[in-house]
């Protein structure tokens, strides 16, 4: 019998268990903040605005991510109401977090008379980085995995180290590490978005819209490999949302192809 490499509990404070999942999510948020501040400084953008948006977005995103997850698992949570607020062992959906964060950004930009597109362009790579890191919380929880496979495939085809392979041994079988596929896809996306912004001067909003399209393409295909998808009837919820985000992103890029360039300092309206 193969023993998992890691326990989901990192340590305990008295009788209170502290889970790797929450620590990794927090670490991903911190790295996202660091990247956003670096980019804001490089682009001569007000870093205080970035910090304010992120500070407000993090708790709201977590709440929305949990609400989204609970809605699509209501059959279970309707009979276990006391577990609705318990996220220490997982149970949050990234699409819910994205919707929550965007709501915060829209409200903040309205109050401060800021350009929604300009600040989301700065935040998009950071959000993708946070998602890439956060997937490793799924790894620690042995969740968000794909179909059953073999240790030979994991080692000899995917060339994964033993510490990942062992963690993918769950209830007597090995499973595809779809969390890893998405994490790698997201990291590649971060690099592409940051490099594009450095060497090019895309229309305002293109970085954010490209984030939506890039992430959604990867999520659509990877979601098809998973065995624990949230469902809307017979359809995978994440795939439906991914299609909608791809269509929205592409259409808006067409609409905004003549928008102000990213380095234009003016901000006259919310969707300027």
What is the rounded CA–CA span in Å between residue 67 and residue 44?
A: 36
Tell me whether residue 42 is annotated as binding: no
Closest CA to 23 of 13, 38, 37, 15: 13
- Burial label for 150, CB within 10 Å (0-12, 13-18, 19+), is exposed
Strand segments (E) across the chain: 9-13, 16-19, 148-149, 169-170, 173-175, 231-232, 235-236
Q: What is the CA radius of gyration of the chain?
A: 20
Tokens representing residue 200 in the block: 């090019």
Partnered with residue 235 across adjacent β-strands are 232
What is the rounded CA–CA span in Å between residue 188 and residue 196?
A: 12
Strand segments (E) across 8-143: 9-13, 16-19
Annotated binding site: 135
């Amino acid at each position: 019998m193969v023993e998992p490499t890691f326990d989901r509990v990192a340590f305990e404070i008295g009788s209170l268990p502290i889970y790797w999942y929450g620590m990794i999510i927090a670490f991903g948020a911190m790295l996202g903040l660091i990247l956003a501040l670096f980019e804001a400084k490089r682009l001569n953008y007000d870093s205080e605005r970035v910090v304010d948006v992120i500070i407000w977005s993090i708790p709201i995103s977590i709440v929305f991510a949990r609400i989204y997850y609970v809605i699509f698992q209501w059959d279970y949570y309707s009979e276990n109401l006391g577990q609705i607020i318990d996220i220490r062992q997982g149970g949050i959906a990234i699409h819910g977090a994205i919707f929550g964060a965007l709501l915060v950004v829209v409200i903040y930009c309205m109050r401060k008379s800021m350009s929604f597109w300009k600040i989301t362009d700065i935040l998009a790579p950071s959000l993708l980085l946070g998602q890439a890191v956060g997937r490793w919380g799924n790894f620690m929880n042995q969740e968000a995995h794909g179909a059953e496979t073999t240790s030979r495939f994991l080692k000899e085809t995917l060339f994964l180290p033993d510490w990942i392979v062992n963690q993918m041994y769950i209830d007597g079988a090995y499973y595809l590490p779809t969390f890893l596929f998405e994490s790698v896809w997201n990291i590649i996306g971060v690099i592409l978005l940051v490099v594009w912004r450095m060497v090019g001067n895309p229309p305002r909003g293109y970085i954010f819209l490209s984030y939506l399209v890039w992430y959604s393409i990867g999520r659509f295909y990877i979601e098809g490999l998973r065995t624990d998808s949230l469902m809307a009837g017979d359809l995978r919820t994440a795939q439906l949302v991914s299609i909608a985000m791809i269509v929205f992103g592409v259409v808006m890029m067409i609409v905004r192809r003549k928008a102000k360039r990213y380095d234009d300092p003016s901000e006259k309206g919310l969707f300027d």
